[in-house]
Homo-oligomer: A and B are copies of this chain.
């Protein structure tokens, strides 16, 4: 921070000109891009996977320190053994509105050996050369290539908004501006574990967290690289299946086509759940699904259509849904096979019948679907297709008594949520961003991804709206997660505008 203060001192003569507030913030940022990125990289160095509770806590205490350095009254809201929430407040004198800026500091699990460079927590700056991403040094002076990307777990999902918010505070201070809306900060550490232990904390802190609205700063911008506001999210729930085979791996010659093969059993199981076109085959699954309204369909069809470009980029020969738009498909529920694991393949494959087969699935839900109902439908489907279902390790007697035995383990579930586009916070946010961009920001009725927004809705009775800054091609949840540098710059601009202009766009309710 001392280095930053020194640079800031040198820049003061530049920023106190008559330029617009927006241009001042940009100029300030352009003069110190290496320092901003360095602080981001230092933040990304702290591992943030769910299993690593010690480092999750380090993330939280570091964010408290970063907020405190910006003059924010910050502290941890502890939550028993679970990762703490970082909470902060910055009151704006005379402001009548309060928003909570939400982000999360935890990240998805990593399989380090799959990452380029093998080190998801060694942030690496890279430039694209042809189809490769080539390491480049972190610069210490000058400007960055806005198309460079910083690779690390959490770069896009979801440390980028935290860094953009903090830097926006720096920018406002340096350019002599002040927030005109009361700000609360809520950075949690359990989002990638479905915020499974957050509800009690929200209930205990309902007064502290009172606000007019929450902005969920998570997820990516539109695939056209344009900024978007998102009025809803799909729900999500996880499902792990273990299909039992013989107690020992058995020689496929001596025992093959007599000892049952768990690989074919799990393949039959998952193909009974959905087809290759994405249609879910579980009985009554679509009963609760409200089809998109004509207005919603009209809205998504007005979005830039980047489907062909995505197909080309991903080398996809045909998409699921018989040619339907991506934006339409994500308004439906989904069933994703996230993993299958049976025996070994290629060099490690042995001519043997494996002892078990595992399948990992995530569901995406739309409004009106509940995790409870999905669980009941799936288990009824399994029973109806001949499976003995157990929720614990199958006993010897169960394995001997039933031709097909599957252990079912449910992950935490979250319902979908959606607000109307005429909700005051939605009007205020979209108006703020319209002004910043000089054109209408993209408005998305729902995103395909999931956030624990429903948990906040039902606990705090507050409207929530999603405001993402990460690039759509950030490999979030996968190897080589990254953030495009320009998206960080755009995020800083946007948060500075939200802090200073959103209050002016808030609809005045006439009593």
Binding site for B on A (CB under 8 A): 51, 108-109, 111, 219-220, 233-234, 236, 238, 240, 244, 246-261, 263-268, 270-271, 274-276, 278, 311-321, 324, 326, 329-330, 332-354, 357-360, 362, 364, 396, 399-405, 447-450, 472-473, 475-480
A407-B459 Cα distance, complex, nearest whole Å: 50
- Whether A336 and B256, one on each chain, are in contact in the complex, defined by CB atoms closer than 8 angstroms, is yes
CB-contact partner of A316 in B259, B315, B477, under 8 A: B259
By a CB distance below 8 angstroms, the chain B residues around A111 are 344, 348
Report the minimum CB–CB distance from A283 to chain B (whole Å).
18
Report the minimum CB–CB distance from A77 to chain B (whole Å).
26
By a CB distance below 8 angstroms, the chain B residues around A108 are 350-351
A473-B251 Cα distance, complex, nearest whole Å: 10
By a CB distance below 8 angstroms, the chain B residues around A109 are 344, 347-350
By a CB distance below 8 angstroms, the chain B residues around A475 are 248-249
CB-contact partner of A315 in B220, B258, B396, under 8 A: B396
Query: Can you spell out 9 A-B residue pairs with CB atoms less than 8 angstroms apart?
Result: A251-B478, A252-B334, A252-B362, A256-B362, A263-B270, A263-B340, A267-B267, A317-B399, A351-B362
By a CB distance below 8 angstroms, the chain B residues around A346 are 240, 358, 360
Closest residue of chain B to A307, judged by CB? B258
By a CB distance below 8 angstroms, the chain B residues around A238 are 349, 351
17 other contacts beyond A236-B253, A248-B473, A251-B476, with CB at 8 A cut-off?
A108-B350, A219-B254, A236-B351, A240-B349, A246-B316, A248-B480, A255-B448, A261-B278, A263-B270, A264-B337, A267-B337, A268-B271, A271-B271, A316-B399, A336-B352, A340-B342, A341-B342
CB-contact partner of A271 in B247, B267, B332, B364, under 8 A: B267
By a CB distance below 8 angstroms, the chain B residues around A258 are 278, 319-321, 324, 326, 329-330
By a CB distance below 8 angstroms, the chain B residues around A270 are 263-264, 267
- Whether A320 and B254, one on each chain, are in contact in the complex, defined by CB atoms closer than 8 angstroms, is no
- Whether B330 and A247, one on each chain, are in contact in the complex, defined by CB atoms closer than 8 angstroms, is no
Asked if A248 meets B340 with Cβ closer than 8 Å, knowing A51-B347, A267-B267, A271-B264, the reply is no
Asked if A252 meets B220 with Cβ closer than 8 Å, knowing A259-B314, A478-B350, the reply is no
Asked if A338 meets B329 with Cβ closer than 8 Å, knowing A220-B254, A249-B479, A317-B399, the reply is no
A5-B208 Cα distance, complex, nearest whole Å: 87
Closest residue of chain B to A399, judged by CB? B315
- Whether B403 and A317, one on each chain, are in contact in the complex, defined by CB atoms closer than 8 angstroms, is yes
By a CB distance below 8 angstroms, the chain B residues around A335 are 257
A260-B347 Cα distance, complex, nearest whole Å: 27
By a CB distance below 8 angstroms, the chain B residues around A326 are 255, 258
A377-B342 Cα distance, complex, nearest whole Å: 25
CB-contact partner of A342 in B268, B339, B403, under 8 A: B339
